[in-house]
Amino acid sequence: MSAAPEQSDVAPLESILEEAVEATDDEKTTVGDIIDAFGAQSLGPMLILFGLLALFPPIGAVPGVPIVLGAVLALYAVQFIVGKERVWVPARLRRISFERAKLEKARERMSPWLSRIDRLFRERMSFATGKLMSRFVGVAALIHAGLMIPLEFVSLVAIPGAALVFFGVALTARDGLMMIIGWTITAAAFYVTVFMVPWGKITEAAAKLL
């Protein structure tokens, strides 16, 4: 009889949000502060953080924020895929800030149940979370960064946000089951983008702007 998989020593959801809040002592936390805190090769924590910010108020519900998150995530993902040791993000994007109070409010609101959810993650099926798969996840993150833009029009940014969280947890906790769930949600995100986004209205709005 095989032994039950051991629970991971990390608490990816709760700890990543905590680190984001503590990334700066100022009243506002900038995109640059977050990138510097996690580093170029820490794709898992970055995906968890970006996913949580897209999933939950009071940050993800602000109009335009998902587009900013998507832009930063796209740059981050591309540089991770090619193996950059230091992430470059334009100064204008690095200066974009979130009120520290909002991050703290999100942490306080989510912390009680995030800690309980963290207990569900275990190191299992770790063959699905290796270095090669992390590159594929980088590609998936790049795709989700693009999907955030049209899905904001139908208030469904939570779908790519959820996929990012599962991918991030999979890489951080070496949990292959979470990886499979992440790819499943990715397929759902494609379906919703193709069949539920009002592409005609988006095209008309873009044409007026041009």
For the stretch 65-112, pLDDT in tens is 677 778 888 888 888 888 776 777 788 878 877 777 777 777 777 777
Tell me the domain boundaries of the chain.
Answer: 12-209
Peptide bond into 12 cis (omega under 30): no
Contacts of 113 (CB under 8 A, 6+ apart): none
Alpha-carbon distances of 49 from 1, 59, 165, rounded to whole Å: 38, 12, 7
**pLDDT tens string 145-204:** 888 888 877 888 889 999 999 998 898 888 999 999 999 999 999 999 988 888 877 777
